[in-house]
Amino acid sequence: MGEVISMRSRSEKNKPSYSTFQNVSYLIKNLWRWDKKLFFVAFIQIPIIVAIPLLGIYIPKVVIDSVTRKSSIAALFISLWATVLCMVILNILLNSLRSLSMFKSIAYRMKYSGLITEKTLDTDFENIDGPSGQERIEKACTSVDSNDSATEAIIMVLIELFSNLIGFIVYSKIISKINPLIVMFLVFSSIINYLVGRYVNNYEHRNKANITPIQMKLRYVINWAGDFKAAKDMRLYNMFPWLKEMFSRLKKQKLYYRRKNIYRRCFSNFVDGSLIFLRDGITYGFLIYSVLYRDMPIGDFVLYFGAVSGFSTWLSGIIKNYNSLNSISLDVCDLREYLELEDNKNRKQGDKLPDSYELPLDIELRNLYYKYPGAEDYTIKGINVHIKKGEKIALVGVNGAGKSTLVKIICGLYTPNKGEILINGKNIELYNRDEYYSLISVVFQDIHLLPLSIEKNIALKSAEEISFKEIDRVIKMAGLSRKIDSLEKGKDTLLVKSIYDEAIDLSGGEMQKLMLARALYKNSPIIILDEPTAALDPLAESEIYEKYNELTKGSTSIFISHRLSSTRFCDRILFIGEGNILEEGSHEELMSKGGQYKKMYDMQSYYYKESVGDEKYA
């Protein structure tokens, strides 16, 4: 429970960025822009919802007044028939309109879901990176993930709210004829109800800061447990008890915070029920007193009795709807905060990219510093390096030294806290972000395939835009030809078997080759390879190294590797440690210095020789 308690302080930081009025206006404006038909369908329901119960309390008065006046059966029948027929028609119309609005409300909600997807795909990488970025996405998705979510529920809540407001006004005029103090008393009790409900909604919103990270971890455990790729490890390493314990612990943490919400919601319901009992008891008692001692007609008594009951319903509905709007508004705050996240990178017109005669590119890093959000220390500390046009650089060092972080900074995914990156002498911040991305081809360690054909995974373009001659060239250069030739449909073969039955799954080494082919097809003047041969067998790795000069011809290249023996074909090696460049030079120069590079190289060579020696005597 210690972890649960330690998370409490997070709830105090989570305050709404927009008022309820601002968020409701935002949703209504979007509704008008996106679907005017839904807007009118919702609007038409309001007078019908008010008219139906009004007719309902009017019918008993008609019957009783007719009886007391001894009206004819024909007159009574005509009055009742007309009223009942009107109610039937209105009910049929209301149900039809509700069905239509419910159907169209789903499309309205999905529009926001599309905006979240577009934002996630397009916003600066730093906005969605790390736990804080993922938490933003999780909160935004809560407002669109079900029929009860804020962006769909808003339609029905607004219909009910305006219906309740009109009903409240109409019934107030009816009840005020008895005694205006009754209306004041009913309103006062409802205000108390509203304040209690608002307190509960605000608490639940603050408590979301505790629940969301737990929900993310739960989702990760559930998804990982259902991931077929992990099925072998789970069985062979007996991971089930660990996953079960993790799931149980997270579930307890989630229930701990959910219970806090439930306790306060129960208190709100208790106050609501108590006020209704008190409110109705007093008003009904006054009506009975009026009949017995103030000569109120029975027909009026029935009408007022129904009006008081209806008034309470309208008033409770207003309070309930307003509290619902407050709750919806809090979710919409999360949605808008995500959709309106500002990009730090230049998304406007940027400087012109280098012309072809200026290639290959010169890269200079000047006094670079970078610290991850929330971290105490810098990951990158004052790096200065000049990579010349067409130079082949190797970044080496222990895990966590900052190599991948440095690459992400060069790629423009991270913005340095201090310092600058120059391409041919020009700061990369002057370029349009997306245009700058076109200068770089990268093969990252993490590999993500799309459920498309092999050639579309390489080109990332539609069939009409693909250069098939170029596809064949990069497939051959990446060493994928033999694999593709063995497939019945060749490069038209679909990938990701979990999506298509006829698809195939590539091995780790084959996926790395595919990513290399993708980078080569992009044909950018800067090529960055982050452990591109980690999943390849020694023979395939050797083939890649032999072709490295050809693969990077006409480009400035950066090669990251943990295997120091694989960097000898590079012009210069940068040994990264503790966020800075500790040593640099060619392989021979660094070996002759006898520094940390040599120590690591000798250690790797020692274990390699040991393993080879063991195989001889196996």
Q: Are 393 and 558 in contact (CB under 8 A)?
A: yes
Would you tell me the crossing angle of helices 20-34 and 73-122 to the nearest 10 degrees?
90
What is the CATH code of the structural domain delimited by 20-340?
1.20.1560.10
What is the per-residue pLDDT for 543?
Answer: 65
Residue-level pLDDT at 578: 83
Q: Which residues of 104-126 are buried (b: 16+ CB within 10 A; e: fewer)?
A: bbeebbebbbebbeebbeebbbb
Our CA dihedral for 455, 459, 462, 466, rounded to 10 degrees, sits at -80
Q: What is the pLDDT of residue 106?
A: 92
Q: For residue 69, what pLDDT is reported?
A: 66
Neighbouring C-beta atoms of residue 412, cutoff 10 Å: 21
What does the DSSP assignment read for 137-175?
A: HHHHHHTTSSTTSHHHHHHHHHHHHHHHHHHHHHHHHHH
Which CATH code for domain 360-449+506-612?
Answer: 3.40.50.300
How far apart (Å, rounded) are the C-alpha atoms in residues 371 and 376?
8
CB neighbours of 605 closer than 8 A, spacing ≥ 6?
Answer: 565
358 half-sphere exposure, CB direction, 13 A CA radius = 13
Q: What are the CA-CA distances from residue 385 to residues 365, 427, 580 (Å)?
A: 5, 15, 10
Name the stretches of the chain with pLDDT < 50.
1-13, 610-618
Q: 558 by DSSP, 3-state: which?
A: strand
> What residues does each domain of the chain span?
20-340, 360-449+506-612
In 467-595, alpha helices (H): 468-477, 481-485, 508-522, 538-546, 548-551, 587-593
Task: Summarize pLDDT for 109-142 with one digit per residue, the tens.
Answer: 999 999 999 999 899 988 888 888 888 888 888 8
Question: What's the burial of 226, exposed, middle or buried (CB within 10 Å: 0-12/13-18/19+)?
Answer: exposed
Q: What is the pLDDT of residue 23?
A: 92
Q: What is the rounded CA–CA span in Å between residue 5 and residue 492?
A: 54
Alpha helices in 150-297 (DSSP H): 150-176, 180-225, 231-236, 240-293
In contact, 224 and 230? CB cutoff 8 Å: yes
Q: Are the CB atoms for 185 and 264 separated by under 8 Å?
A: no
- Cα gap 275→54, rounded to integer Å: 24
Question: Where does residue 37 rank: exposed (0-12), middle (13-18), buried (19+ CB within 10 A)?
Answer: exposed
DSSP 350-414: -PPPPPGGGPSPPEEEEEEEE--TT-SS-SEEEEEEEEPTT-EEEEE-STTSSHHHHHHHHTTSS
CA distance 468 to 453: 13
pLDDT (0 to 100) of residue 116: 93
The gap between the terminal CA atoms of the chain, to the nearest Å, is 51
- From residue 364, give the alpha-carbon distance in Å to each of 90, 353, 368, 586: 74, 16, 10, 19
